[in-house]
Amino acid sequence: MPRDTGFPASDAQFDFSRARRGRLLSRLATRLRREPGDVNVILPFEEVAEALGRVGERSLGLHSIELDSIVGTVDRRKEFDRGFRPTSGRVRPRWERIAQAERRGESMPPIRVFRIGELHFVEDGHHRVSVARAQGRTDIDAYVTEVITKVGADRAIRLADLPLKDHERVFYERVPLP
């Protein structure tokens, strides 16, 4: 739960530090549970779209989407983990500016995402997503572009699953099913 001292700059610094600690604790928990190493890796949009067989896309306009459905990015793979926690201190200045603005009640523009099935991939607004998650929000406004694919995917998909999804797509392309 984010703290609120009434000093947005101090609270933003605390939130960033807490988000970074959360990432470290998440990595530790992953190791202790002996989960695969790519469980917390943010998914790259282009690789997922290619593996699932992109057919086309269409704009859906402005929607409110669940933050938990955001699992990937169009770029910025190294700056955030799958939970959109910062992976380095390089993003700190911008992250804290956005957090301060949010705490002062300033309106933020909607983010831009691509939707594949129930998965969302951030095109613009990575820091806003990260701040929203750190502040305990559950949803965010976004301009959504739906990408239509030949094979579906759910929120549990990992980087290691992409070759299997690619083979599944090829199977459906080559084998005529009723």
Parallel/antiparallel/unpaired status of strands 43-44 and 70-73: parallel
Check whether domain 8-174 has CATH 3.90.1530.10, yes or no: yes
pLDDT at 81: 82
pLDDT at 3: 64
Note the pLDDT tens digit of each residue in 71-100: 999 986 778 888 888 888 888 899 889 998
Note the pLDDT tens digit of each residue in 21-65: 776 666 666 667 666 555 567 889 999 999 999 999 999 999 999
Higher pLDDT: 124 or 28? It is 124
pLDDT at 141: 96
What is the spatial distance between Cα 41 and Cα 113, in angstroms, rounded to a whole number? 18
pLDDT at 23: 65
Higher pLDDT: 164 or 49? It is 49
Angstrom distances, CA of residue 176 to CA of 153, 167, 173 = 21, 15, 7
Three-state DSSP state, 120: strand
pLDDT at 122: 95
Domain positions in the chain: 8-174
Do 137 and 67 contact (CB within 8 A), yes or no?
yes
Residue type, 167: H
Higher pLDDT: 145 or 89? It is 145
Rounded to 5 degrees, φ, ψ at 177 are: -110, 145
Note the pLDDT tens digit of each residue in 4-23: 666 677 777 777 767 777 76
Confidence class for position 147, pLDDT limits 50, 70, 90:
very high
Mean pLDDT score, 100-129: 93
